[in-house]
Amino acid sequence: MPFRTLSFLVVFILFSLTETTQANTDSRGQPPEAKIMLCPLPDFETISLDIPLSTADNIQLSSKNTSIERDQIALFSGDVIMVDKDKKIMADQLSFDRLKRRIEAIGNIHYQGKKINIFADKLSADGVTRSTQMQFASYQLDGNPGHGKAEVLSINDQGILKLTNSTYSTCHQKNPDWQILASEINLAASGDFGEAYHAKLKILDVPVFYIPYIYFPISNERLSGFLYPEFTSSKKSGLEVSAPFYWNIAKNYDATITPRFMSSRGTQIKTEFRYLIGMQSGQFDLEYLDNDGKYKNNDSRYLARFKHIGTFSESFRAFVDYTTISDDSYLVDIGSKQYNSNDAYLYQTAELSYFAKQWQTTLKLQDFEVIGNNLPSYKTLPQIEFSAHQPLSFLSSQLSLYSEISSFKSVEGDTEEANRYHIEAAFTLPLVRPAWFLNSEFTLMHTFYQQNNLAVGSQLAEKVNRTLPKVRIHGGINFDRELRLFENTYRHTFEPQLQFLYLPYKDQSSIGFYDTVNLQDDFHGIFRDTSYSGLDRISGANQFTWGLTSRILSKENLEIIRLSLGRIQYLGDNNLRLANDPALADNEAQNSKKSSVAADFFYRLNHQWQISADIQYNTIGDFTDKGQVNLDYMVNRYNLIQLNHRYTRNVSGDRLEQMSLLTSFAINNNWAFVGRLTRDFQQNRNLESYLGVQYESCCWAIRIAGYREINPNLNTLSSVQNISDEFDSGINIKLIIKGLDGNQSAIGTQEMFKNSMFGYKQPYYLQN
């Protein structure tokens, strides 16, 4: 059987349930991270007097010895402590000139300000100018790993720290991994940013580059400035260098402007603008390449996307997601974080909804920009939906109404178009108890089509009326018992369910396909009341659907094993689900009185190992329609290995069978790697290979990754269709200096793990 990895089910069932333990909740549904220790922050004892502080605007001092000279200069020695509002000084000796309001201190000085601790040999402070100066000082920012030394450190009346011939770093080793050496460093009184003049950045004691002036954040507050550059190489674009600049425009506006140099193509400008106004938020992205040097034409290449979501009062909600692109090959050639390179269409949607207590309505404008040689889609200009419900006093029953008006416009002028008017009224009677449920639904649906621009000889009709009743009765029983296995207590459930669905068959071949596609027939799908999305096809049905689910749950109601099995049993002579869709017709399936068997399986061996699988198996033809298996080994939140296999018998006439191996593993507190491999068994080739290594310390990180992935084949007729190689390969390098962007948290490996053609499917947990 091509669905090879089903053998995993047998292997894992043989494991003993005695190893089942409570799951590590920190790792549920979370992508892996890199394990990293942050730089330790020194904890200095707060300098304070043993006597209550006065609220008056004066200075308080304490010491072991005190003397006064000429009734003007007070001398203090021995554990001297001085407090002046939010400033505190500890020293061996201190003198205070009362008339000049000047303070001099020497010996083991510890200055404690609002956001800084300073240690120096000598201190002088002027009460008139409210300035302080210290010599041969070292400093440590409060609540921040930023620290350094300075020949002279001064604090003016505005609280700005000026450091002459100084250093700054967030590394706490004796010889820091990186540091800034500057003739002058100024740190803001707020503790939010710093600036350095004539600065040299040294990494591992090696000067890397010289900067005449640098402006950097030292907290998590937003601040304008350059972000970390990124270096990449690939066959398609050559050497790439990206240098993003963040612009903190206002409290509720910001932008990121990224020049991206590509040696084979030229310089691209990428901009991201974000806003937040009350309950309205949005983002506008623009990527623009004036002239692609890899092609002889002079056409510009671009991608623009606008997203908005907002609420007006308590009743109105607005949503917009609009994307346009210069050419079909843009995502394959240049790439974008907005979409994946193998996406087939771009969103162009706008919605305005109104919500009342018992009804709601939505106005929708929708289009898709199709990429490559794919089937064109229809625009809905507009689509208006209205729904309402009225609870009844009889056994929690309810009357509901749904109506829709849709106008489908064709992108191509010679294709049929349509206006569709649909209304359905339903009576539902839900009976739900802890041990059982029985839901009944009786619906009457009417649809009218006005179809235009029909081709000569078309089987479609200009006007079509379709009226169909629907009866759906769905019930189930929940059995459970206590189960003891291997001296452990579990709860075992047995949950049979049965559904009857009836819709009379109606010939719908005179209606075109405007927003309708076939849906999946997995275990959950066989209990739907339709086989299609949209309204262009409503399947005839006279059928029973049965399903059996059994679970084993721990004492904490954590699901250990789940097995579900179900099938549709057709009544009458024909399988009428396909409703005049020749592209999906299968004579053997059409004449069958049974659907494929749909099964769903989940087994959690312990907090590390788990397996999930589903399959749709045709017992009449003895073949697998679709199936997949996921095997996850999650040691903890830092280490994960996932193996998955997927098989589909028919994807646009082709068979698909692929296997992927993904891993993220923290070697120790500093080193981690991420790897991915996807193998296509039908073509006998690797679709994607990726290996990334990351070193991260408390104050800096470097990431190096290499990849090789297939270029999607668009079969487009555009002038930029030709891609020289079937595969693209390259290297990505990213260096991060923590403390120069205000962020001290762990970088992690999530970005590396998620950056994939096929992505990471998170494990599924169910907790009752």
Mean pLDDT of 379-391: 93
Three-point CA angle 528, 531, 534, nearest 5°: 100
The pLDDT of residue 428 is: 95
Q: What is the pLDDT of residue 201?
A: 85
Mean pLDDT of 254-272: 92
CA–CA dist 380, 303 (Å, integer): 23
Q: What's at 451, amino acid-wise?
A: Q
For residues 131-142, give the mean pLDDT.
85
612 vs 562: CA distance, rounded Å = 9
- Inform me whether the pLDDT recorded for 13 exceeds 90: no
C-alpha pair distances (Å), 639 with each of 78, 115, 359, 649: 55, 38, 48, 34
Provide the token pair at 176. 């820091």
pLDDT tens-place string over residues 31-49 = 555 455 556 777 777 777 6
d(CA 511, CA 418) in angstroms, rounded, equals 9
Q: Which of 643, 622, 646 is nearest to 634 (CA)?
A: 643
- 580 pLDDT tier (thresholds 50, 70, 90): very low
CB 308 within 8 A of CB 323: no
DSSP 168-226: EBS--SSS-SEEEEEEEEEE-TTSSEEEEEEEEEEETTEEEEEEEEEEEESSSS---EE
pLDDT at position 469, please? 96
Sign (positive or negative) of CA dihedral 749, 755, 757, 760? positive
Whether 3 and 627 have beta carbons less than 8 Å apart is answered as yes
DSSP string, 683-727: TTEEEEEEEEEEEE-SSEEEEEEEEEEEPP-----STT---S-SE
Q: What is the pLDDT of residues 685-706, one digit of tens each?
A: 888 888 989 888 888 888 888 8
Given a contact cutoff of 8 angstroms between Cβ atoms, the answer to whether 32 and 664 are in contact is: yes
Residue 621 or residue 384, greater confidence: 384
**Distance separating alpha carbons of residues 562 and 599, to the nearest angstrom:** 11
Confidence class for position 723, pLDDT limits 50, 70, 90: very low
Confidence (pLDDT) at 592: 66
* Structure tokens, 273: 């603008």
pLDDT of residue 714: 62
Ranges of H-type helices in 279-430: 330-333
| Coil, strand or helix at 617 | strand
**pLDDT of 252 higher than 60:** yes
Question: Would you place residue 444 in the very low, low, confident or very high pLDDT band (cuts 50, 70, 90)?
Answer: very high
Q: Which of 733, 740, 751, 701 is nearest to 36 (CA)?
A: 701
Average pLDDT of the chain to the nearest whole number: 82
* Residue 678 neighbours by CB under 8 Å, 6+ apart: 658, 659, 660, 661, 686, 687, 688, 689, 757, 758
Residues 496-504, mean pLDDT to the nearest whole number: 95
Q: Is the pLDDT of residue 274 over 60?
A: yes
**Please, which pLDDT band fits residue 740 given cuts at 50, 70 and 90?**
low
Nearest residue to 150 (alpha-carbon basis) of 130, 115, 114, 180: 180
pLDDT in tens, 589-638: 445 678 889 999 999 888 788 899 999 998 888 888 899 999 988 877 66
Q: Is the predicted pLDDT of residue 23 greater than 80, yes or no?
A: no
The lowest-confidence range among 106-120, 569-583, 604-618 is 569-583
Mean pLDDT, range 442-467, rounded to an integer: 93
Report how far residue 505's alpha carbon sits from residue 575's, in angstroms, rounded to the nearest whole number: 10
The C-alpha torsion from 46 through 49 and 55 to 59, rounded to 10°, is -100
For residues 542 and 568, what is the distance between their CA atoms, to the nearest angstrom?
10
Lowest mean per-residue pLDDT among 126-130, 506-510, 533-537, 601-605: 126-130
> Position 734: which residue type?
K
Query: How far is residue 519 from each of residues 539, 564, 588, 610, 717, measured CA to CA in Å?
Result: 12, 19, 19, 28, 31
Domains parsed from the chain with CATH numbers: 60-226 (2.60.450.10)
Q: Is the pLDDT of residue 433 over 70?
A: yes
- CA–CA distance from 247 to each of 222, 223, 225, 250, 256 (Å)? 9, 7, 7, 9, 6
pLDDT grade, residue 426 (50/70/90)? very high
Distances (CA, A) of 428 to 278, 391, 477, 502: 40, 10, 19, 15
Could you report how far apart the first and last alpha carbons of the chain are, in Å? Answer: 35
pLDDT of residue 41: 73
Single out the residue of 164, 154, 160, 228 nearest to residue 190, CA to CA.
160
Distances (CA, A) of 95 to 58, 87, 252, 343: 16, 17, 49, 74
CA pair distance 232, 537, nearest whole angstrom: 48
Mean pLDDT of 165-186: 86
Confidence of residue 17 (pLDDT cuts 50, 70, 90): very low
Percentage of the residues of the chain whose pLDDT score is greater than 70: 83
* Residue 238, both tokens: 């050559």
**The pTM is what?**
0.75
Whether residue 518 is predicted with pLDDT greater than 50 in this model: the reply is yes
pLDDT tens-place string over residues 627-675: 999 998 887 766 888 899 999 888 777 888 899 998 888 888 888 888 9
User: Residue 329: which pLDDT band, with cuts at 50, 70 and 90?
Assistant: confident
pLDDT of the residue at 191: 62
Angle at 374 between CA 369 and CA 377, to 5 degrees: 50
Mean pLDDT of 203-219: 80
> Residues of the chain with pLDDT > 90: what percent?
28
Query: For position 727, what pLDDT does the model report?
Result: 82
Question: Average pLDDT of 544-568?
Answer: 93
Least confident of 84-93, 539-548, 550-559: 84-93
d(CA 269, CA 287): 6
Neighbours of 70 (CB within 10 A): 6
Please compute the mean of the pLDDT values over residues 183-191 and round it to a whole number.
Answer: 77
